[in-house]
Amino acid sequence: AQSVTQPDIHITVSEGASLELRCNYSYGATPYLFWYVQSPGQGLQLLLKYFSGDTLVQGIKGFEAEFKRSQSSFNLRKPSVHWSDAAEYFCAVGVNDYKLSFGAGTTVTVRA
């Protein structure tokens, strides 16, 4: 079965600085990869997804992610964070069934 690891539980970044969130997956083939964001007390919102093709994927809110097959990684990046980016971020992996596996999440704090 596939699994997802988000090594960083909590990241603090200054407003205007760059952000990178790590995601590693374990699966024999290339899975379907997703990044979601969750504000406190809310549901999850899809930021971006990767199925195939170009390994650099653009998403909403200025986020992008890069799929690296050799490293089994799908890291999320944003060049310049805004205070509104403070939230919890989840990486998820899907295969050829109806289920997703989620990482434990990374909480992002943005300081002024």
Partner 1 sequence: DGGITQSPKYLFRKEGQNVTLSCEQNLNHDAMYWYRQDPGQGLRLIYYSQIVNDFQKGDIAEGYSVSREKKESFPLTVTSAQKNPTAFYLCASTYGRGNQPQHFGDGTRLSIL
Give yes or no for residue 42 binding partner 1 (CB under 8 A). Answer: yes
Nearest to 30, CA basis, from 71, 90, 91, 77: 71
Give yes or no for residue 43 binding partner 1 (CB under 8 A). Answer: yes
CA atoms of 76 and 64, how far apart (whole Å)? 6
Copy the structure tokens of residue 19.
Answer: 């952000």
Q: How far is the CB of 27 from partner 1 (least distance, A)?
A: 11
Copy the structure tokens of residue 35.
Answer: 């990044």
Q: Beta 10-14 vs 106-111: how paired, if at all?
A: parallel
Residues in the interface with partner 1 (CB under 8 A) total 25
Q: Which of residues 89-108 bind partner 1 (CB under 8 A)?
A: 90, 94-100, 102-105
> Site residues (CB under 8 A) for partner 1?
9, 31-32, 34, 36, 41-46, 49, 51, 90, 94-100, 102-105
